[in-house]
Structure 1
Amino acid sequence: METVWSLVIVVLVVAAAGFIVWSLDHHHDVYGIVLPVGAAVALACLVWAVLIFAGTGYMAGLTWMPWALPMAVGIVAAVAVPIVVGRPRTKHDVALLTELLKRG
């Protein structure tokens, strides 16, 4: 049961980070609120599961890994995914709008 609580805490931390990243991004009107949150939670859960199945939660000296590593990876994902998706999408939308306005 202890490992389930570690997953709950990891998910809450990275979800909060995803919401904070979304609110601070100037291009957040281009993509939905779920993008940074979903990417952070999905990647953190995947890393957590791999670490738990590898047994790092029960090895002396490695018990920090299922806590800290998924949180760090999730926060990095919450920051990186909007950069990868948001800015190119903004450029594409502006180019498309310019093309449409030139036609009309």
Structure 2
Amino acid sequence: MLSLTIVVLAAAAAGFIVWANDKRHAKYGAGVPAGVSVAVAALAWIILMAAGFGYLPGLTWIPWVLPIVLGAAAATAAAIYLGRSRARQDTERLTAILRA
């Protein structure tokens, strides 16, 4: 259970780092990439542990590293998608307001 705690904390940190480095981070909350990262990392950890990867000699690093990497990738994808779509929606709303 300690490994899940460490994976979740590292994934949350990765999500906050992704948020801080995104130039459009004002378009969505700071908790969104961190939450996505934690959810994906925890799910990946559960799947890997259920598959038995946590107890294979030489492969015990997989449930520690892979979920964090997957969580960071999911946070990056969420930040890119949300930043672009919300910026586009804000522009459309502002254009509609200015035309009226």
Which TM-score band (shorter chain)?
over 0.9
TM alignment of 1:47-86, pairs within 5 A: 47-86=44-83
Following superposition, the deviation at residue 61 of structure 1 comes to 2.1
Aligned to 2:95: 98
Identity across the alignment (%): 50
Deviations 1:44-72 (A, max 9, x none): 00000000111110112221111011011
> Between Structure 1 and Structure 2, how many residues are aligned?
100
So what's the TM-score if we normalise by structure 2? 0.94
What is the CA RMSD across the aligned residues, in angstroms?
A: 0.9
2:60 partner SS: coil
Match of 2:85 among 84, 88, 93: 88
Following superposition, the deviation at residue 95 of structure 1 comes to 1.2
Runs of 4+ in 1 over 6 A off after TM superposition: none
Structure 1 segments unaligned to the other structure (5+ residues): none
So what's the TM-score if we normalise by structure 1? 0.91
Structure 2 segments unaligned to the other structure (5+ residues): none
